Amino acid sequence: MSRDMMPHFELYQPDTLENAVDLARRIGKGAWLLAGGNDSLDWFKDRHKRPTAVIDMSGIASLKGIRETEEGLEIGALTTLAEVESSAIVREKYSLLSTAAGRVASPQIRNAGTLGGNLCQDTRCWYYRYGVSCYRAGGITCYADTPEGQNREHCLFGASRCVAVSPSDTATASVALDAKMVIHGPDGERIVPAEEFFIGPSKDITRMNVLKPGEVLTAVRYPKAWAGAKFYFEKVTDRNTWDFALVSVAAAMVLEGDVIRNIRLVCGAVECVPRRLKGSESVAMGRKKAEDVAIEAGKAASHGATPLQFNQYKVPLMENLVRRAIRDA
Ligand SMILES: Cc1cc2nc3c(=O)[nH]c(=O)nc-3n(C[C@H](O)[C@H](O)[C@H](O)COP(=O)(O)OP(=O)(O)OC[C@H]3O[C@@H](n4cnc5c(N)ncnc54)[C@H](O)[C@@H]3O)c2cc1C
Ligand code: SF4
């Protein structure tokens, strides 16, 4: 398979959001939105995705930057992961997000990769990336969910024909921070909570979020309610230099003395969407931040898990990450 040449496509470089949305509407199905290109160019070079037109959004200034607002913090979707990681205001108020952004891939990828691209990236399932015709690619089988399938990285929850997981580290943190996604499309603006932005295969097996063709994620809003809370992010990988999560946890907690007054717990790489752990949250809510509560909440995290042939290890891993999140946040 040749990886040195990309198939031909038309390239558009609009300098306003309105032009980008208009182009996407007029081109229709064959249009591809390009941000930092880390994910997109791999798809094009492998020839598994062949858009007829690419809309490069890197020249749209209004989609970049980190702004404090009355409600909290707004980060433009084209802001790079490196900027999110190093921003003083993000570090001070939402260190969960800066830590998660800093754990994405390698410095080179974070310099070019954007927050929006990281949130909107497709799944990394080996089979799908290799270009096989599985369910997600429009075929009639799932290669990962077979007795011999390589499913060590795949899901514990939410399987529906596809058993792939969400790979995004900033997605896990954004759901924990109760972020709001700002979307622009041909019908104007709509705001969607991060928790509802990501969708699993039972809703639509061909995409991983609610964006309809022609819609652009323009910004992500992080609410004041969670600014300066206690945070914990941990990501377990095969290699610590750069790698996708085998399991990750993002926790945001408000304490009154040593009592947990509010908490949001989310695990990454266990479902096709960042998995909010409402059962663990209700175990911990209103109780002292102590080891026995952490253990109980950890056990609750894996309730309902249905491991595949080679990913049973994710169950105790998930339980321990949640335990550590509550104990060490
Ligand atoms: C070697 C390697 C290691 C990696 N490791 C990690 C990791 O550990 N953790 C992790 O989270 N990620 C990891 N990634 C994924 C990487 O971080 C993402 O691919 C990257 O952040 C995508 O950002 P981008 O701006 O380059 O997106 P692009 O490649 O430009 O876009 C990605 C996708 O999102 C869509 N998109 C982009 N921006 C928007 C927008 N504003 N509105 C609507 N749609 C949009 C594009 O159409 C495309 O489908 C890794 C990638 C590589 C290549
Ligand atoms: S897990 Fe999903 S993406 Fe992977 S082979 Fe199965 S259907 Fe395809």
Q: What is the DSSP annotation of 134-145?
A: -GGGT-S--SSS
End-to-end CA distance of the chain: 46
Q: Ligand 2 pocket test: which of 121, 129, 142 has the largest number of ligand atoms within 8 Å of its C-beta?
A: 142
Q: Which ligand is nearest to the CA of 77?
A: 1
pTM for the structure as a whole? 0.98
The strand pairing partners of 216, in sequence order, are: 184
Task: Please state whether 99 falls in left (phi above 0), alpha (psi between -120 and 50) or beta.
Answer: alpha
Q: How far is the C-alpha of 54 from the C-alpha of 12, rounded, in Å?
A: 6
**pLDDT score at 2:** 57
Which atom of ligand 2 lies closest to the CA of 145?
A: 6
Helix axes 314-328, 291-301, angle to 10 degrees: 150
- C-beta 82 within 6 A of ligand 1: no
Residue type, position 236, single letter: V
Per-residue pLDDT of the chain (329 residues; tens, 9 = 90+): 556 678 899 999 999 999 999 999 999 999 999 999 999 999 999 888 999 999 999 999 999 999 999 999 999 999 999 999 999 999 999 999 999 999 999 999 999 999 999 999 999 999 999 999 999 999 999 999 998 999 999 999 999 999 999 999 999 999 999 999 999 999 999 999 999 999 999 999 999 999 999 999 999 999 999 999 999 999 999 998 789 999 999 999 999 999 999 999 999 999 999 999 999 999 999 999 999 999 999 999 999 999 999 999 999 999 999 999 999 99
- Are residues 183 and 191 in contact, defined by beta-carbon separation less than 8 angstroms? yes
Q: How far is the C-alpha of 313 from the C-alpha of 24, rounded, in Å?
A: 43
**Helix, strand, coil distribution of the chain in percent, nearest 5:** 35, 25, 45
How would you write 54-103 as a 3-class SS string?
Answer: EEECCCCHHHCCEEEECCEEEEECCCEHHHHHHCHHHHHHCHHHHHHHHC
Task: Report the separation in Å between the CA atom of 38 and the middle of ligand 1, taken as the mean of its atom positions.
Answer: 6
Task: Report the separation in Å between the CA atom of 42 and the middle of ligand 1, taken as the mean of its atom positions.
Answer: 10
Q: How far is the C-alpha of 116 from the C-alpha of 10, rounded, in Å?
A: 22
Instruction: Give pairs for 262-266: CB < 8 Å, separation 24+.
Output: 262/229, 263/326, 264/175, 264/176, 264/177, 264/178, 264/226, 265/176, 265/297, 265/301, 265/322, 265/325, 265/326, 266/172, 266/173, 266/175, 266/176
Residue type, position 280, single letter: S
Which atom of ligand 2 lies closest to the CA of 164?
A: 1
Task: Report the separation in Å between the CA atom of 124 and the middle of ligand 2, taken as the mean of its atom positions.
Answer: 9
**pLDDT score at 225:** 97
- What is the residue with the minimal CA distance to atom 4 of ligand 2? 125
Task: Report the separation in Å between the CA atom of 82 and the middle of ligand 2, taken as the mean of its atom positions.
Answer: 30
- C-beta 34 within 6 A of ligand 1: yes
Q: How far is the C-alpha of 36 from the C-alpha of 41, rounded, in Å?
A: 9
Q: How far is CA 242 from CA 60, 108, 109, 192, 238, in A?
A: 29, 11, 10, 30, 9
Strand ranges (DSSP E) for the chain?
10-12, 31-34, 53-56, 66-69, 72-76, 180-185, 188-193, 216-223, 230-236, 247-256, 259-268, 275-276
CB atoms within 10 A of CB 207: 16
Task: Report the separation in Å between the CA atom of 195 and the middle of ligand 2, taken as the mean of its atom positions.
Answer: 22
- C-beta 317 within 6 A of ligand 2: no
- What is the residue with the minimal CA distance to atom 2 of ligand 2? 162
- C-beta 135 within 6 A of ligand 2: yes
Which atom of ligand 2 lies closest to the CA of 127?
A: 5
| Angle in degrees, CA 64, 67, 68, rounded to 5 | 165
- Are residues 4 and 26 in contact, defined by beta-carbon separation less than 8 angstroms? no
Task: Report the separation in Å between the CA atom of 245 and the middle of ligand 1, taken as the mean of its atom positions.
Answer: 15
- C-beta 234 within 6 A of ligand 1: no
- C-beta 39 within 6 A of ligand 1: yes
Comparing CA positions, the residue from 124, 31, 99 lying closest to residue 252 is 99
Burial of 26 (0-12, 13-18, 19+ CB in 10 A): exposed
**pLDDT score at 1:** 53
Q: Which ligand is nearest to the CA of 141?
A: 2
**pLDDT score at 66:** 98
- C-beta 162 within 6 A of ligand 1: no
- Are residues 276 and 264 in contact, defined by beta-carbon separation less than 8 angstroms? yes
